[in-house]
Amino acid sequence: MTASLQTQTEESAGSRRATSAQYPRATPTLPLNPVHISIKPSHLEALQALGYTEVEACFLYLVATHSGYFAARQFLGFTGAHWGKRTTTFWNKLHSRKHARTECFPKGGVVYHLFSRRLYRQIEKENLRNRREHEFDFIKRRIAILDFVLLNQGYQYLETEPEKLHFFCRTMNIERQFLPANLYLGRKTRVPTVRYFVDKFPMFLISPSPVVTFTYIHEGAPGFTDFIRHLERYLPLFRLLSEFRMVYASRSAAQFEKATEIFHSFVKTPLESDIADDLLRYFRVRKAWEEKQYAAVSEGDLIFRNKVRSRFSGNRFEGLYRGWKNGHISESGIRHEVGTNDRKHMVGFDTFLLRRLGALEGRFR
């Protein structure tokens, strides 16, 4: 069974149009059919050998791979189970085998941490950092990531760092220097370690298309600083992809309009056109019109201005305009800032309202 991305693809002043034709549709409140989950049979068999049922093994695989943490409601929503013997038996197995522990937070409720090295070793993911302890804000986002994955099964997820490196470096022939990376210094060695895609946001392909879909999962206080930083880290990679998609997921639809504006101004508009010439022409026409130099503005200029105005909306372009108008940034500076394109890009952007899988909060008893 699969669940559809409820996408938000176009924004206008007073309306929004949602599309979801590219995605399979289903009802995510029903139990998920394991045959539609892309998990190696050997991994499921290894988890079942630890004493878990097939559906429990599927759930534990997804938790270990994408999150490390889960809430009771997620297990209930995934399996279609209700509070009772089944849930109690599942938790008793996790607890007695020392595969998971309970973590309680004053305002965050109860979460379960899948930490067993042996369990991760069974699915060949022993080195995943998901089994380590983390702070509450990190855990909240991991729970949100798991909600996204559970609601959007049926896709070919690039689950681990090696899989992502193989896809981009081998399949797409992109050098590692263009991938988002972090440098870490080890406790026992002075040799730094480079890690890629450390945000761990879901990334997937929709078979048979080779076009990759990136995601950004917003969880927490309203704000877009982290989203902007995330886009800036991925821009070198984005520039080398002829086509890709980004999904912005949040618990609140109030984030969507601003997120769309930011993505368009930082990524979509710069990549889909050689915008430097268009941007400078727009600035010149706008400046002449604002200074009432109407004789310098042709009818074609006005048509052009009205056509591109929405492309160049947002704080970023407004800041560039003010800097250029006041003489603080030159035309060559504008060109350097927005860059130029030597290849064509097709960039998709969607939003996804991230609901909590399973209606009831609670804990296993």
Mean pLDDT, residues 75-101 taken together: 89
- Residue 42, number of CB atoms within 10 A of its CB: 10
Q: Quick check: 24 pLDDT over 80?
A: no
Instruction: Return the pLDDT at 113.
Output: 93
53, 75 Cβ separation under 8 angstroms = no
341, 149, 324: which is closest to 240 by C-alpha? 341
Q: Where are the domains of the chain?
A: 7-270+349-353, 274-340
pLDDT band at 208 (very low <50, low <70, confident <90, very high): confident
Mean pLDDT, residues 225-235 taken together: 93
As a whole number of angstroms, the longest Cα–Cα distance in the chain is: 82
pLDDT band at 361 (very low <50, low <70, confident <90, very high): low
331, 287 Cβ separation under 8 angstroms = no
150, 110, 360, 126: which is closest to 249 by C-alpha? 150
Q: What is the pLDDT of residues 145-197, one digit of tens each?
A: 999 999 998 899 999 999 999 999 999 999 999 999 998 877 777 778 889 99
* pTM of the complete model: 0.75
Q: Quick check: 285 pLDDT over 90?
A: yes
**What DSSP character marks residue 101?**
E
Q: What is the pLDDT of residues 106-154, one digit of tens each?
A: 766 789 999 999 999 999 998 888 878 778 888 899 999 999 999 998 8
pLDDT band at 9 (very low <50, low <70, confident <90, very high): very low
Please give the C-alpha separations between residue 254 and each of 143, 217, 230, 353, in angstroms, as whole numbers: 20, 14, 20, 10
3-state secondary structure of 233: helix
257, 11 Cβ separation under 8 angstroms = yes
Instruction: Return the pLDDT at 342.
Output: 61
